[in-house]
A and B are shown apart, each in its own frame.
Chain A
């Protein structure tokens, strides 16, 4: 591959709108045909009175019901398969979800398609075979690590599979192997600056960093600017979700005016999260995706709960794939801390088990020394203790340990007096996120 080319897959990246939609319709028909072989979809189609052969236009997809995480959680994942289990080469599971984890199965073809898609993303950002790509994301069930790893290798860059954490080692690796590209969680990028300082290393002067892929966590333009400024590099926003294979579903081009959704791989709908009707172009709504190339486990009309808007018109980069804004929020109450998806219900479940009774609680998310901090405030009621301070200390330690097991990060537990979290009206506010205020500098 000539790596002075501007595009990784020009034949797909440069399709005009009409050609994209023609391709989408063809792939949608193939996907539906394939779905008709899966026990889950067979029943799903039947229930909806939907004949997969009746699809004549992309808009016809709206005749199918939407599907969400609950559908995935409550269904045996193998029943989605359109191939035999022997054709599956890998599974991934979403990070720290509420209740049962959701599982996605991949064929060799799926891994290949996904790797190519992510390679397209980072090639677009300027990653080339001469680069040294330090992948600072968790490897494992989480899709962030392996997704980018395969992509960077496909381009021919040298990958340093550093994984997450171990900050000093990360910096040592950067120095020793002349890392030029990092894939990193944005809040961790900020935190790492403190470690650079401690070590007396200036990332601008003492490293060869030139590109950062920021992923796994919604972040602000202000945060990106800070990372670019402090590290002296170009940072690109990466969007994805494990249900749609993982990172790289949408990615910023050098214009940085929105993230291109790869529409040859996905059919994007933006709907009003209440009425479920498609919103006007440019209006904020929930992103709904249908996979168009997945063999093993296609997903149709999957609700992401992520809120964003689309940008109208062609992009100066030459691509006609539609662009979405940064993720502006969630249509449910899920929040993300250090790259882990967390639902208040998970915290509630642990508290109930630890205390034996329901308790008023509040989750406070904050940025402390450039790092995400999660605090859980729990009201101490008369039913949960017998008047001794040791009991409370044990209770606190027990809750912390159980939460760490459930959500994989360690929140700070604070016991507060009864009534201090109550509010006079409206729905209980379970989560107060102060992180964005802190980052808007």
Chain B
């Protein structure tokens, strides 16, 4: 199963710099990053090429980090792709807690990363709707 890393960070100058420096120093490549913020703190979500290694390094550096299971859906980079995934999940009552997407190959392939409570069920729904779930090896080696 694919995993991303969630990290707690205070909303202060230099924090993002410190975090990315830690990852750079151990040669981690970041595929995607999102920040969900609150007034004085936020949670960074990182999709990286080696989650266990990144997780360990961040922990050693004192960050409050988590390995979080996610579903990576492969889509055509075309209008309506995201709509069809969301409709399939919505019809079966699966709530998407958080999601983000990124393009792998221009106008051809995009990846939608979703966080849901019931992962096996979501995978089954998405596959049933004709989408492919990307394996973790494939995702990390993008």
A380-397 contacts to B, CB under 8 A, are 380-382, 385-389, 392-393
Taking a contact as CB atoms under 8 Å apart, the answer to whether B41 and A415 are in contact is: yes
Tell me if B53 counts as interface (CB < 8 A to partner A).
no
Are A417 and B63 also in contact (CB < 8 A) when A388-B97, A392-B43 are? yes
Q: List B contacts of A414 (CB < 8 A).
A: 40
Q: List A contacts of B65 (CB < 8 A).
A: 382
Taking a contact as CB atoms under 8 Å apart, the answer to whether A388 and B6 are in contact is: yes
Taking a contact as CB atoms under 8 Å apart, the answer to whether B38 and A387 are in contact is: no
Taking a contact as CB atoms under 8 Å apart, the answer to whether A387 and B62 are in contact is: no
Contact of A382 among B10, B41, B59 (CB under 8 A): B59
| Number of residues of chain A lying within 8 A (CB) of chain B | 17
Question: In chain B, what residue has the closest Cβ to A386?
Answer: B66
Produce 1/0 per residue, A355-391, CB < 8 A to B: 0000000000000000000000000111001111100
Bound-state CA distance A16–B104 (Å) is: 94
Produce 1/0 per residue, B11-42, CB < 8 A to A: 00001000000000000000000001110111
Bound-state CA distance A371–B64 (Å) is: 34
| Number of residues of chain B lying within 8 A (CB) of chain A | 21
Tell me if A22 counts as interface (CB < 8 A to partner B).
no
Bound-state CA distance A387–B4 (Å) is: 10
Tell me if A418 counts as interface (CB < 8 A to partner B).
yes
Taking a contact as CB atoms under 8 Å apart, the answer to whether A380 and B8 are in contact is: yes
What are 13 A-B interface contacts by the 8 Å CB criterion?
Answer: A381-B64, A382-B59, A382-B65, A385-B64, A385-B66, A386-B66, A387-B66, A388-B97, A388-B98, A393-B38, A415-B10, A416-B10, A417-B9
Taking a contact as CB atoms under 8 Å apart, the answer to whether B40 and A417 are in contact is: no
Tell me if A420 counts as interface (CB < 8 A to partner B).
yes
Taking a contact as CB atoms under 8 Å apart, the answer to whether A417 and B15 are in contact is: yes
Q: List A contacts of B132 (CB < 8 A).
A: none
Taking a contact as CB atoms under 8 Å apart, the answer to whether A418 and B40 are in contact is: no
Tell me if A426 counts as interface (CB < 8 A to partner B).
no
Tell me if B68 counts as interface (CB < 8 A to partner A).
yes
